[in-house]
Homo-oligomer: A and B are copies of this chain.
Amino acid sequence: MTTPLRADAARNRERLLAIARAAMTEGDLALQLNDIARRAKVGVGTVYRHFPTRRALVEALADGAFATLVDEARAASRHDDVWTGVEILLRALLLRQVADPAFAEVISTGPDQDATATTTEHREQWSAAARVVLERARQAGVLRPGLTDDDLHHLVCGTAFALRIGDEPTLRIDRYLRVLLDGIHAAERNGVNSGTAGLQARRARS
């Protein structure tokens, strides 16, 4: 489909990615493309040829993390315990975001027009794998009713955002994740499978 990159081009591409990753990791979320070019000792044109837009660069940075996540999601769907599968799934989605700011940016914004083919594909693979895990959980009645796949996706992204505010995100991961998991677990309330009843009862009170 795409002719393989010429040697020098491939070299430059890697160099740019490496430098962009470094910049982003050390906190420069703005990722000024001119700046990246200068640091990479490369013309601006080269940057824009490889990554026509800032978003394209960020997506390229996120590719690795995204692929890993898809694997983790598939592994989660194979886990014996249904609920544990959900925990693994959501924890993976959260950890990837904490570890990789570029990935966090991509995953917590809607699918973009003119997104990379790779990213689009990853996105589909991810939601397919996640759907399996979550649907299993719904069948087993361990997932709070009324929550869509998208809801869960958003809530995890929200949790990642919560971690980004304030210091020492990594120390708070488990705490926040626990809150989320308990919030979306059905069986935790009123003994067994309370289903919608529990939700309504509580809602009426507030």
Compute how far the CA of A199 lies from the CA of B155 in the bound complex, rounded to whole angstroms: 20
CB-CB nearest in chain B for A87: B206
A139 to chain B, nearest CB (A): 20
Task: Kindly identify, within residues 150 to 206 of chain A, every residue whose CB is under 8 Å from any CB belonging to chain B.
Answer: 150-151, 154-155, 157-163, 165-166, 172, 174-176, 178-184, 188-189, 199, 202-203, 205-206
Residues of B within 8 A of A158 (CB): 158-163, 165, 176
Compute how far the CA of A183 lies from the CA of B150 in the bound complex, rounded to whole angstroms: 19
Among B108, B166, B179, the residue within 8 A (CB) of A110 is B166
Residues of B within 8 A of A199 (CB): 178
Compute how far the CA of A11 lies from the CA of B178 in the bound complex, rounded to whole angstroms: 51
| Residue A1 is within 8 A (CB to CB) of chain B in the complex | no
Known: A158-B158, A176-B151. A165 touches B110 (CB 8 A): yes
Known: A183-B180, A199-B178. A162 touches B157 (CB 8 A): yes
CB-CB nearest in chain B for A107: B165
Task: Kindly identify, within residues 25 to 62 of chain A, every residue whose CB is under 8 Å from any CB belonging to chain B.
Answer: none
Compute how far the CA of A88 lies from the CA of B205 in the bound complex, rounded to whole angstroms: 11
In contact, A155 and B178 (Cβ under 8 angstroms):
no
Compute how far the CA of A122 lies from the CA of B108 in the bound complex, rounded to whole angstroms: 30
Q: What range describes how many residues of A lie at the interface?
A: 35 or more
A106 to chain B, nearest CB (A): 12
| Residue A117 is within 8 A (CB to CB) of chain B in the complex | no
Contacts beyond the supplied A181-B206, A182-B182: 18 A-B pairs with Cβ under 8 Å: A84-B205, A87-B206, A88-B206, A147-B175, A151-B172, A155-B159, A157-B161, A158-B159, A158-B160, A161-B162, A174-B203, A178-B183, A178-B199, A178-B203, A179-B183, A182-B189, A182-B202, A188-B189
B-contacting residues of A (Cβ < 8 Å)?
84, 87-88, 91, 108-110, 144, 146-147, 150-151, 154-155, 157-163, 165-166, 172, 174-176, 178-184, 188-189, 199, 202-203, 205-206
